[in-house]
Structure 1
Amino acid sequence: MARSARRYSDEDVEHYDRPRRRTRPRTKERPAYDDAVAGVVVTVDRGRFTLLVETSDGPVTVMAMKARPLGRKGVVVGDRVRVVGDVSGAEGSLARIVEVEPRTTVLRRTADDDDPVERVVVANATQLVVVTALADPEPRTGLIDRALVAAYDAGMAPLLCLTKADLADPQTLLATYRSLGVPWVVTQKGGDLSELRERLAGETSVLLGHSGVGKSTLVNALVPDAGREVGVVNAVTGRGRHTSTSALLLPLPGGGWIVDTPGIRSFGLAHVEPGDLIKAFPDLEEMTVDCPRGCTHGVEEPECGLDLAIERGELDADRVASFRRLLEARSVPAYLL
């Protein structure tokens, strides 16, 4: 028989095609999930999500997984979600996240400045609290500058929290940021935290800083039952040991939320366009209307409107210098912070 001859005749059963895979008619209709309840993501651990779900009896801690229809859509700490299934919070129970509400803000970073992959740190936060020790370990302005850039890019209000004021004078560091108008609070071990509590009230605040600067100590003082582990600073390297291994959202007794994040040693800004940073400073942006096309408003830019405004006495030179330092923060390798 020729190789091209048909193996079966039209009368053979085998002639008819077998049903193909995925022949079930597709539909755009999706479940309405009318019985879904609202929750907020508190922490994430290996594909499992801890939520706080509001019930008639008050907030309940619920374990959940992401529903398959969400696909690769990321779910992070701070996300407001809708949940179905067992939301009793009983041991061994597991609910399903079926919807992620639109985010109002997104705090992002990259592993390094040439890394194209953005990592969402926290969603829906309103305030970024940059926690910096005045000594032990010594303050590193590189991380502060980068954190401020990330806050402005995300549309979050920045706040400097200077810890260990009993070991060093805060005025030297504050002088660097005062011209930018960044608000600040100063704390020390066992000191009064009333001013910090006022700044945090009603906000969703992300605590960000190097290991060993006192983030977990602050969290334990602000939320007495938080139980965050407190580390020490290595006497040789001057660096702190990571005590927080994942971001954790906690409700504040006086209203509002705080997010304790793991200590970081790099904060890439590959996702931030330098030209967009000035939008966070309306008074500076106003002076750049007549800048040459392509002006980045940096130190070496010819005929930059910021320099002309300084010459006319319309802008403070220190404020412009501080803004340009934030621009230059992207040129410092993230791993050197």
Structure 2
Amino acid sequence: MTSHSRGARDMDEDDVRTRPGRSSRPRTRTRPAHADAASGLVIGVDRGRYTLRVDDVTVTAMRARELGRKSVVVGDQVAVVGDVSGGPDALARIVRIQERSSVLRRTADDDDPYERVVVANADQLVIVTALADPPPRTGFINRCLVAAYDSGIEPLLCLTKADLATPEEIIETYADLELPVVTCRRDEPPDPLAARLANRMSVLIGHSGVGKSTLVNALVPGTNRAIGVVSGIGKGRHTSTSAVALALPGGGWVIDTPGIRSFGLAHVSPSSLLASFTDLVPGADDCPPSCAHLSAADGCALDAYVAAGHAQPRRLASYRRLLESRSD
């Protein structure tokens, strides 16, 4: 172990340390290879038990002790041993977590240095927002976009209840980001969204009451995710209580997440977000170290880069709007 401490950016729930009791045996570095382990996808987590799909069988499993405090989340690809028959009393063991292609993280709030993994291996973040009842919340959309860009996950804006209000204003708000958008009506099947989800691992996120569970029930018949109502003050009541991955009939997976009241972004740095604005990245070469990229008055070189015609002013404005959203 090095003498310096790890930065807050690298800390998460996997870093919690425990001191072994006096009777604990010394641990060996040699771990079983588990060459005969089966491959599984984590589709549900509930109080220390994990629901997996192993081939076409639904399996219940627990974590092996050798995993330590490494988190296992929905979307993880894992190696599993033991009883994978899927029987009512069968219990398998997760012995290894495969390398993740992406990790969607959030903190409890903007002052919290500890990251929480929401889902693993998603390649698309579907931000579900109602056009009315409740009205759109651009601050939350911005935060979700920041999390998606930081994680390397493609964002998709899904506007629900298009039978109650028109989408033009909010589409225009995000036109400079070239953000793909689909709209859904309550009186029609969500075919435009289904086409975007086919053969992908997508995670749906949104405030309660925006129609997320209604979409899931339409996309995956027989799911019966609980549907809430919107209160008289325009706020949804939480219905889903845990993330779950559901197989789409035409191929691919959709991960439904609980209604989220906050989406902390303490873990996202200005440079991490900038990486998603590839047209602006070269302009940061002349910025001072640890530049916050907020204004030329602070020494940021992005303004001069844009003024020289290397990028569009609206792109810099959108980047800074997302930067500011981290503390809205």
Q: CA deviation at 1:30?
A: 2.2
Match of 1:242 among 238, 241, 251: 238
Amino acid of the structure 2 residue aligned with 1:324: R
Q: CA deviation at 1:303?
A: 5.3
Distance 1:113 1:240, change over 3 A: same
Distance 1:138 1:23 in 2: 58
Match of 1:230 among 227, 232, 240: 227
Q: CA deviation at 1:310?
A: 3.6
Distance 1:315 1:42, change over 3 A: same
Amino acid of the structure 1 residue aligned with 2:65: R
8 Å Cα contact 1:295-1:301 kept in structure 2: no
Distance 1:289 1:176 in 2: 29
* Correspondence 1:198-209 to 2 at 5 A: 198-209=195-206
Query: What CA RMSD, in Å, does the superposition of the two structures yield over aligned residues?
Result: 1.7
Distance 1:53 1:300, change over 3 A: same
8 Å Cα contact 2:75-2:121 kept in structure 1: yes
Match of 2:251 among 219, 242, 255: 255
8 Å Cα contact 1:162-1:170 kept in structure 2: yes
**Superposed CA offset, 1:32-91 (max 9, x none):** 21221110111100000011111xxxx111111101111111110001111111111111
Match of 2:88 among 87, 91, 101: 91
Distance 1:209 1:252 in 2: 20
8 Å Cα contact 1:176-1:322 kept in structure 2: no
Number of residue pairs the alignment of both structures matches: 307
In the alignment, does 2:266 pair up with 1:266?
no
Distance 1:27 1:114, change over 3 A: closer
Distance 2:70 2:306 in 1: 47
Match of 1:81 among 78, 81, 85: 78
Which segment drifts farther, 192-201 or 150-159? 192-201
Match of 1:9 in 2: none
In the alignment, does 2:327 pair up with 1:331?
yes
SS at match of 1:289: helix
Distance 2:126 2:25 in 1: 53
8 Å Cα contact 1:306-1:315 kept in structure 2: no
In the alignment, does 2:317 pair up with 1:321?
yes
Q: TM-score if structure 1 supplies the norm length?
A: 0.87
Match of 2:135 among 138, 157, 161: 138
Q: CA deviation at 1:311?
A: 2.7
Match of 1:40 in 2: 41
Q: Which runs of 5+ in 1 are unaligned?
A: 1-19, 333-337
Q: Which runs of 5+ in 2 are unaligned?
A: 1-21
Match of 1:10 in 2: none
In the alignment, does 2:62 pair up with 1:65?
yes
Match of 2:303 in 1: 307
Match of 2:111 in 1: 114
8 Å Cα contact 2:296-2:303 kept in structure 1: no
Q: CA deviation at 1:117?
A: 1.6
**Superposed CA offset, 1:308-333 (max 9, x none):** 2443344322222111110001121x
Distance 2:184 2:177 in 1: 21
Which segment drifts farther, 299-308 or 138-147? 299-308
Match of 1:295 among 291, 301, 325: 291
Distance 1:263 1:22 in 2: 41
SS at match of 1:287: helix
Q: CA deviation at 1:22?
A: 5.9
Q: CA deviation at 1:190?
A: 2.5
Distance 1:313 1:30 in 2: 57
Distance 1:30 1:312, change over 3 A: closer
Distance 1:290 1:189, change over 3 A: same
In the alignment, does 2:278 pair up with 1:282?
yes
Amino acid of the structure 2 residue aligned with 1:153: D
**Superposed CA offset, 1:185-223 (max 9, x none):** 111113243321221112110100000001111101111
Q: TM-score if structure 2 supplies the norm length?
A: 0.89
Amino acid of the structure 1 residue aligned with 2:214: T
Amino acid of the structure 2 residue aligned with 1:127: Q
* Correspondence 1:110-189 to 2 at 5 A: 110-189=107-186
Q: CA deviation at 1:171?
A: 0.8
Distance 2:108 2:191 in 1: 35
Which segment drifts farther, 208-217 or 313-322? 313-322
Q: CA deviation at 1:302?
A: 4.5
Amino acid of the structure 1 residue aligned with 2:41: V
Distance 1:139 1:29 in 2: 53
Distance 1:28 1:303 in 2: 49
8 Å Cα contact 2:296-2:302 kept in structure 1: no
8 Å Cα contact 2:284-2:300 kept in structure 1: yes
Which segment drifts farther, 27-36 or 44-53? 27-36
